[in-house]
Amino acid sequence: MSHLALPASRSSPVIRRAVAARNTPHRFSVAEYMSLETERRTELLGGVIFDVSPKNEPHAFAVTKLAATLIRGFTGTSIDVRVQDPLAVLGWHGNEAPEVDIAIVRAAEYAVTPSARDTLGFIEVSDSTYGGKYGDRRYKIPLYVNAGVPAWIVNIRLRQVEYYGCAADLERTHGIVSAEGTDVDILGVRVPVGSLFYKTLRQAQRDSQRSSGTRSG
């Protein structure tokens, strides 16, 4: 493979440093990121700003159902449920502010965005966002667990909930799995796994036919 040589005037150390600087992204702290004004849904991962993936109906369904169940379960306690808010996982001067699908935090009036110190559990709902370098399983879940906070993934494609409570769980492909048809315990709140998954039209039709057959019998 051949390489294109720069002209002598462009191969000086000054020019090389300028080219390198131009190709290096600026790394934001959470404080800098939060001071920006934008109408787009974004998150800060490793100091880099990313657009948040559009949410499809199965994802929205799971987030809505799970949030409602947890809010009911934590009613009357000193725990709040935050839905799709950015959290400063490593603190205000860190470089991580993911938009967390559901964060279970200590109830308080925070002067700035809560961090891992204020959080009892992180939950991500994953479909197309499960894999990839900055995906939920490879990036966000290890970030949360290594910050000392247990985390769960609602895996839409496999219709299961995965729990990661410590570094050893990260070594498992899917953590500790709660399958559809069982309940998962999230900080003392029992959640039916099957209630989180959006039914396809075919599934809904089968359920309707089964229900009609039961009533007619």
Q: Domain extents for the chain?
A: 49-202
The answer to which of 68-72, 88-92, 128-132, 207-211 has the lowest mean pLDDT is: 207-211
pLDDT, residue 216, reads: 40
Q: Sort strands 151-155 and 119-126 into parallel, antiparallel or unpaired.
A: parallel
Q: What does the chain look like in DSSP terms, one character per residue?
A: ---PPPPGGG-SHHHHHHHHHHTSPPPPPHHHHHT---SS-EEEETTEEEEPPPP-HHHHHHHHHHHHHHHHHTTTSSEEEEEEEE--TT-TTSS-B-EEEEEEEE----SS---GGGEEEEEEEESTTSSSTTSIIIIIHHHHHHTT--EEEEETTTTEEEEE-SHHHHTSTT-EEEETTSEEEETTEEEEGGGGSPPPHHHHHHHHHHHHHHHH-
Q: Which pLDDT band holds residue 206 (cuts at 50, 70, 90)?
A: low
The total number of residues shown for the chain amounts to 217
For residue 103, what are the β-bridge partners?
Answer: 82, 122
pLDDT, residue 59, reads: 94
pLDDT, residue 23, reads: 63
Q: Which pLDDT band holds residue 155 (cuts at 50, 70, 90)?
A: very high
Q: Which residue has the tokens 């080219």?
A: 19
pLDDT, residue 119, reads: 98
pLDDT mean across residues, the chain: 87
Take residue 180 and report the two structure tokens written for it: 């559809």
Q: Residue 63 in contact with residue 125, Cβ under 8 Å? A: yes
pLDDT, residue 202, reads: 57
The pLDDT of 192-202, averaged and rounded, is: 83
Which tens digit of pLDDT belongs to each residue from 20-77?
555 667 889 999 999 998 888 999 999 999 999 888 899 999 999 999 999 999 999 9
CATH hierarchy code of domain 49-202: 3.90.1570.10
Residue 125 has pLDDT above 70, yes or no: yes
Q: Residue 59 in contact with residue 130, Cβ under 8 Å? A: no
pLDDT, residue 5, reads: 43
Residue 131 has pLDDT above 80, yes or no: yes
Distance CA 102, CA 124 (A): 7
